[in-house]
């Protein structure tokens, strides 16, 4: 798990250095390098792929590289996209947190059938968002806070908090890293640079990463 996390965080670091938002991170877009074993403990295992939705934060809307309002697959979508807030590389870090949690529990953390259901599912795990993040006139929060699914399940904030969801995680440092990826506020969310310095990774850096590896090593 540590090696996989390390590779993903390096990819996120290089994307941010290049001012690129991937905007569609999910397990399908993280590739195991041919010939590598998932239980391998040394050397690079992964590359991030599929840049079909990638964009440049702040690019003009007339540019091919601008970030549209709706990006990211629903199950790996960051709060900023639901709330029409500015898009930065931090949306990718949120997706990384969801992916890491999924690698542990075996299923997606969020599982809504539509964007309101998904937002309600997000609150079940993370609790309500800070009030200052909800733009005036944005009604997704009001609809999600009382949402009932097609099967009759009434979504409730904090129904399954992250600590309960990841109860089987016996590494407190890994849990802390995931929790910091899943902060509502992108300003409080851990960055790729900070993640690479996090004790979960910092204390077990493979020898190969003592040197600067090229961007192509982590992106395809």
Q: Which residue has the tokens 């506020």?
A: 185
What distances in angstroms separate CA 109 from CA 17, 117, 170, one per listed residue?
28, 13, 18
> What CA–CA distance (Å, rounded) separates 213 from 66?
28
User: How many other C-beta atoms lie within 10 A of the C-beta of residue 8?
Assistant: 25
- 24 classed as catalytic: yes
Out of 24, 84, 92, 171, pick the active-site residue.
Answer: 24
Known catalytic residues are 24
């Amino acid at each position: 798990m540590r090696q996989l996390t390390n590779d993903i965080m390096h990819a996120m670091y290089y994307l941010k250095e290049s001012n690129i938002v991937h905007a569609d991170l999910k397990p399908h877009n993280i590739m195991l390098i041919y010939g590598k074993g998932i239980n391998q403990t040394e050397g690079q295992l992964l590359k991030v792929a599929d840049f079909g939705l990638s964009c440049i934060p702040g690019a003009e809307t007339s540019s091919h590289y601008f970030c549209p309002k709706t990006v990211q697959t629903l199950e790996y979508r960051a709060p900023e996209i639901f709330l029409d807030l500015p898009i930065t590389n931090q949306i990718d870090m949120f997706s990384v947190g969801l992916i890491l949690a999924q690698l542990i529990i075996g299923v997606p953390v969020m599982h809504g059938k539509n964007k309101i259901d998904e937002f309600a599912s997000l609150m079940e795990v993370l609790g309500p968002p800070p009030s200052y993040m909800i733009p005036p006139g944005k009604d997704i929060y009001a609809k999600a806070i009382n949402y009932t699914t097609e099967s009759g399940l009434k979504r409730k904030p904090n129904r399954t908090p992250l600590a309960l969801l990841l109860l089987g995680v016996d590494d407190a440092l890994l849990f802390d890293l995931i929790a910091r990826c899943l902060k509502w506020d992108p300003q409080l969310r851990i960055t790729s640079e900070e993640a690479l310095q996090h004790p979960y990774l910092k204390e077990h850096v493979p020898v190969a990463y003592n040197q600067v590896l090229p961007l192509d090593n982590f992106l395809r």
